[in-house]
Amino acid sequence: MDDHVRKIVPTKYVIPYSDVLFREAAVEWLITTNQPIQAVDHPSFKKMVDIASQATKSVIIPNQNITRREIMELFKKQMVYLKEQLNV
């Protein structure tokens, strides 16, 4: 019987969405990360929020190491592209 019984790990409490909570979180993010107020109007910020809003379960926010790695990979791809364009 013990082989068939597994402990269920409780999931973290999910904060229900509301426009007020989202605005508060956006303002807090602007202030604590010293972003310009125009950041919330930037198309890339809106794209990120639109993508996250389509998540069916939760959003996994990449940590700084993953983000750094992805930035470096993008940089390398752009350098290869630039080199190809300049060699034409």
Please determine, for residue 5, whether its predicted confidence score (pLDDT) is greater than 90: no
What is the C-alpha separation between 79 and 23, in angstroms, rounded? Answer: 38
Q: For residue 4, what pLDDT is reported?
A: 67
Output the average pLDDT for the chain: 90
Q: For residue 11, what pLDDT is reported?
A: 66
Residue 36's domain comprises 2-55+63-86
Q: For residue 3, what pLDDT is reported?
A: 66
Q: For residue 46, what pLDDT is reported?
A: 97
What is the C-alpha separation between 68 and 25, in angstroms, rounded? Answer: 24
Residues 11-39 have a mean pLDDT of: 92
Strand (E) or helix (H) holding 57: none
Question: Looking at the 3D structure of the chain, how many domains does it have?
Answer: 1
Question: Residue 2 is encoded by which pair of tokens?
Answer: 């013990």
**83/8: higher pLDDT:** 83
